[in-house]
Structure 1
Amino acid sequence: MSHTAHIPSHRKPRRTTSHMAVRARVAGGVLSTLTVAGVSAASANAAEPAAQTLELPTLTADLAAQVAQSADATQQAAANYALQAERDAAATKAAKQAKADLAQAKKKAEATQKAEAERKKAAASRSSERTTLTSSAGTTTAPSTSSSTASGSAAAVIAFARAQIGDAYILGATGPNSWDCSSLLQAAFKQAGVSLPRVAQDQSATGTPVSLSNIQPGDILYWGSAGSAYHTALYVGDGKFVGAQNPSTGIAEKSLSWDPPTGAVRVL
Structure 2
Amino acid sequence: MSHTAHIRSHRKPRRSASTIAMRAGVAGGVLSTLAVAGASGSAHAAEPVTQTLELPTLTADLAAQVAQSADATQQAAANYELVAERDAAAASAAKKAKADLAEAKKKAAEEKKKAEEAERKAAAERAARSAERATLSASADTGSSDSTGSSSAGDTSTSTATGSAAAVVAFAQAQVGKAYVSGATGPSAYDCSGLVQAAFKQVGISLPRVSQDQSTAGTQVGLDNLQPGDILYWGGAGSAYHVGIYVGDGMFVGAQNSSTGVVKASLSYDPPSGAVRVL
TM-score, normalised to structure 1, is 0.55
Q: Is the 8 A contact 1:183 1:198 kept in 2?
A: no
CA separation of 1:249 and 1:28: change in aligned 2, threshold 3 A: same
User: C-alpha separation between the residues in 1 aligned to 2:12 and 2:225?
Assistant: 183
In the alignment, the residues of structure 1 paired with residue 23 and residue 213 of structure 2 have an alpha-carbon distance, to the nearest angstrom, of 149
Give the residue type in structure 2 aligned to 1:151: T
Q: Determine the structure 2 residue equivalent to 1:173.
A: 184
Equivalent position of 1:197 in the other structure: 207
**Structure with more helix by fraction:** 2
Q: So what's the TM-score if we normalise by structure 2?
A: 0.53
Percent identity between the two aligned chains? 48
Aligned partner letter, 1:41: S
1:156-235 maps to which residues of 2 (within 5 A)? 156-189=167-200, 193=203, 195-199=205-209, 200-235=211-246
Indicate how the Cα distance of structure 1 residues 259 and 194 shifts in structure 2: closer, same or farther if over 3 A, else same: farther
1:101 aligns with 2:101: yes
Q: Distance in 1 between matches of 2:12 and 2:183?
A: 160
- The residue aligned with 1:236 is 247
- Root mean square deviation, CA, Å: 4.9
Matches within 5 A, 1:1-268: 14-16=13-15, 18=17, 21-23=20-22, 25-49=24-48, 91=91, 94-95=94-95, 97-98=97-98, 101=101, 148-149=156-157, 150-153=159-162, 154-189=165-200, 193=203, 195-199=205-209, 200-256=211-267, 258-268=269-279
Cα distance in 2 between the residues matched to 1:258 and 1:152: 23
AA aligned opposite 1:94 = A
Per the TM alignment, residue 168 of structure 1 is displaced from its structure 2 partner at its CA by 1.1
Distance in 2 (CA, whole Å) between partners of 1:206 and 1:48 is: 114
CA deviation vs aligned residue, 1:62-87 (integer Å, no higher than 9, x gap): xxxxxxxxxxxxxxxxxx99x97996
Contact 2:200–2:207 at 8 Å: present in 1 too? no
Letter in 2 for 1:37: V
SS at match of 1:245: strand
Unaligned runs of 5+ in 2: 2-7, 52-79, 130-152
The unaligned stretches of length 5 or more in structure 1 are 2-8, 53-79, 131-145
Please give the alpha-carbon distance, in whole angstroms, between the structure 1 residues aligned to 2:12 and 2:197: 171
Give 3-state SS (helix, strand or coil) of 1:184's partner: helix
Whether the 8 Å contact between 2:192 and 2:242 is mirrored in structure 1 is yes
Q: Distance in 2 between matches of 1:243 and 1:16?
A: 166
- Whole-angstrom distance in 2 between the partners of 1:164 and 1:90: 61
Give CA-to-partner distance per residue, 1:73-121, whole Å, 9 cap, x none: xxxxxxx99x9799659726735853883796599589x59x96xx89x
Structure 1 residue 184: Cα displacement: 1.8
Quote the Cα distance in structure 2 between the aligned partners of 1:245 and 1:235.
Answer: 14
